[in-house]
Amino acid sequence: MRSSVGLAKPCTVPPTRDMTLECCTLTQPIKLNKKFLQNQPLKNWEGLLDPVRHESATASRPVKLRRKWMEYQGIRNWEGLLDPLDDNLRGEILRYGHFVDAAYKSFDFDPSSPTYATCRFPKSTLFERSGKLDTGYRLTKHLRATSGIQIPRWIEKAPSWVFTQSSWIGYVAVSLNKAEIARLGRRDVVIAFRGTATCLEWLENLRATLTQLPNSDCGKKGSDDSGPMVESGFLSLYTSGTPMGPSLQEMVRQEIKRLLHTYGDEPLSLTITGHSLGAALATLAAYDIKTTFNCAPLVTVISFGGPRVGNRSFRRHLEKQGTKVLRIVNSDDVITKVPGFVIDGENNVPNNGDLTMASLPSWIQKKVEDTQWVYAEVGRELRLSSKDSPYLNSINVAACHDLKTYLHLVNGFVSSSCPFRAKAKRFFLSNHRR
C-alpha cells in the first residue's frame, strides 16, 4: 500500500471536510538531527503537529461514528476504509494509539528505582499525568504480566531488576463521559498493552516455537491438524501467575466479566490495543475473551508493530469467533516479520517479499511444519512505510519499530497512490517511548 520514497503521485482522492490532501513529492528526505529532536520540549513541537491530534480529533468528529461505529470497529473488515484511509478511521487509530502511549508513559523504566516495572500513577490520574486529557474514559483496572521462565539460582546474584518476574503491562478503561459515548455511538471498553520492557519479557519473546492453546482439540500431524497454536513466550506471559498474584489472563477475565455484568444491556464494544509485545498480547486476549464469554460484544484488536502470534488454525478460530483484527504494519519494521515462516493465505501466496512456505522446496516445508515454525498473519493489514515520510531521517530497526513512528505514519498516510501528505508534519516525533 505504498509507493517508493520520492515517487509519490499526486492525490486522486477528493478531500473530505476535515482533511486537505497534499502529497509529498520531495525527492530527498529532510535530514533532521536525532539528538536535537529528542531534546526539544513538547511545547516547541506543538506548532508542527497536524490537526489530527488526540486533543482536537474529538472536536472534528462530533457525530460521524454514531451510526457507523460498527464499521469503524471492523464489522465489515474495514472494506473501503483502508485505501484510501478513511479520515474518521485514521482518527480512531490514532486515538487508540494514544491509549498505548499512556501505558508506556505510566511505566517505571528506571532499573534503579524501588518501583521499577510498576505503574507510576494511580488509576484516578493516569490519563492526566501521562498527558492524555479529556479522554472521556476512566481507568478501572491495572494489569500485570508474569513470565513463566524458571529462574536459575545463580541469577539471584544479579541485580534484582534482571529477574523481575511480574510487571505492570497495561490497563482496562471504560468510556463514561456522556458526550464521548454519544460521539462513539456506544460505550467502549479499552484494554491497552505496552511493549517489551523487562529482561524476562525479552527472553519470552525468544521462545518463538508454537505451542498448543489449552483446552483446544489437537491432532497429530502438521500445523494444520494440530489445532490453534501460538508463540510459546507470548502465551507464557499471558497465562503465567505467581503464588502471590493472578495471571494476566485471570485479571482480564475477571474485569471483563464485571464490566459485562455492569454494561451488558447497552450498546458495547471491546477494543484491545497494543504495540509490539502488547500487540501480541492484545490478540491473545481477544481470542480468550471470545472463547470465555458467550455474550461478549464486538471485540476489535488494533495493533501497532506486532509480531506474528499463531498458526493458520489460530487465525481460523479468530475469524470464526468474529474477532476483528486491524494490524498497523510498517513494512520497514523487522519485528512484524518474525517469528517463523508465514502463511498469509490459504494458497500460501508470498507477501511483499517475505519468505513464505510457498517459496520453499517441499522437503523444507515439511521440515518447518514438523518443527512448528509455521505462522499465519491474522485480520486486515494497513501497511505503511518509513521510507514514505520525508520527516524521518533514519531507517533503522529501533526507529522503524517505535510507536511514535507508527502514529506519525498513520497520520500521514492517504492511499497507495499518495503514501504521505505533505501537511502531515512531524506528528508524534518526540516525547514518546517505544
Q: Quick one: pLDDT at residue 58?
A: 37
CB atoms within 10 A of CB 351: 16
* 57-384+392-402: CATH, from 3.30.930.10, 3.90.1200.10, 3.40.50.970, 3.40.50.1820: 3.40.50.1820
Query: Please, which residues bridge with residue 310 across strands?
Result: 230, 376
Active-site pick, 54, 401, 408, 432: 401
User: Which residues face 246 on adjacent strands?
Assistant: none
Residue 401 annotated among the catalytic residues of the structure? yes
Q: Which of 276, 303, 385, 386 is catalytic?
A: 276
Q: How far apart are CA 321 and CA 323, in angstroms?
A: 5
Q: What are the cell numbers at 13?
A: 482522492
Phi-psi region of 413 (alpha: psi -120 to 50; beta: other; left: phi over 0): beta
Domain ranges in the chain are 57-384+392-402
In the chain, which stretches have pLDDT less than 50?
1-63, 219-224, 345-353, 427-428, 430-434
Residue 213 near residue 314 (C-beta atoms within 8 A): yes
276 classed as catalytic: yes
What pLDDT, on the 0 to 100 scale, is given for residue 56? 37
How would you classify the pairing of strands 268-275 and 187-193? parallel
What backbone torsions phi and psi does residue 150 show, to the nearest 5 degrees? -75, 120
All three cell numbers of 355, joined, read: 519468505
Of 50, 86, 288, 333, which residue is the catalytic one?
333
DSSP character at residue 393: -
Q: What is the pLDDT of residue 218?
A: 53
Query: In the chain, how long is the greatest CA-to-CA distance?
Result: 64
Amino acid at 138: R
Angle between helices 248-263 and 232-239 (to 10 degrees): 60
